[in-house]
Amino acid sequence: MSNGEKLLQREPVQRVQNALREAGLDTAIRALSETARTAQDAARSLDCELGAIVKSLVFRAGDKAVMALIAGDRTCDTDALREVLDLPDELDRATPEFVRAETGFTIGGVAPLGHVSPVPIAIDASLARFVTVYAAAGHPHCVFPATFDDLMRATGATASERIAN
């Protein structure tokens, strides 16, 4: 079994593959030889535009996790994210331990679906400019391709043009 095949057998990656299937997406997770821990790494590995990489950013709102799916060439506007998701609490940066406890994924491989607990999600509408976007799939070396519409439907995310600059 190759290293790529071993990565695809890991529990977090399988959880993402199952969530993709349950959402009706017929897409295969790809194991990359290079890391996709950052958007720049993923774009380089996939030979695609930086903006086509979906950054899964987790924030802490009180004792709950919230997620923003942001294009790789943009930054998240947390004030707008809080408004879009109608959150009463200020957003704080989530610790790696909090991210793992709330999503079941380690930073660098946080997928936009397949979480161990429900997480409210907003998606950067600018991702729609790409035919295919690539999101983390449960491990820093694993990604999956999707269309913007499929990703939005599969995650139940609220689309917004305001959450990214």
Closest CA to 164 of 123, 113, 110: 123
Identify the pLDDT of residue 143: 95
Q: Mean pLDDT, to the nearest integer, of 38-65?
A: 93
Query: pLDDT (tens digit, 9 = 90+) per residue, 130-142?
Result: 999 999 999 999 9
Is 133 buried (19+), middle (13-18) or exposed (0-12) by CB count in 10 A? Answer: buried
Domain range annotation of the chain:
3-160
Q: In the structure, what pLDDT confidence band is assigned to residue 113 with cuts at 50, 70 and 90?
A: very high
With contact defined as beta carbons under 8 Å apart, do 42 and 72 qualify? yes
Identify the pLDDT of residue 35: 77
Identify the pLDDT of residue 3: 67
- For the four alpha carbons of 132, 155, 113 and 14, in that order, the dihedral sign comes to negative
pTM exceeding 0.75:
yes
Is the pLDDT at 4 greater than 70? The verdict is no
Query: pLDDT (tens digit, 9 = 90+) per residue, 62-72?
Result: 989 999 999 99
Cβ-based neighbours of 88, under 8 Å, separated by 6 or more: 61, 62
Identify the pLDDT of residue 119: 95
Query: pLDDT (tens digit, 9 = 90+) per residue, 70-84?
Result: 999 999 999 999 999
Residue 154's identity, in one-letter code, is A
Q: Mean pLDDT, to the nearest integer, of 13-31?
A: 93
Of 139 and 1, which is predicted with more confidence?
Answer: 139
- Cα dist. 88→11, 85, 91, 150, 157 in Å? 34, 9, 9, 29, 18
Q: How many angstroms separate the CA atoms of 93 and 99, rounded?
A: 10
3-160: CATH, from 3.40.50.2300, 3.30.470.10, 3.90.960.10, 3.90.1150.10: 3.90.960.10
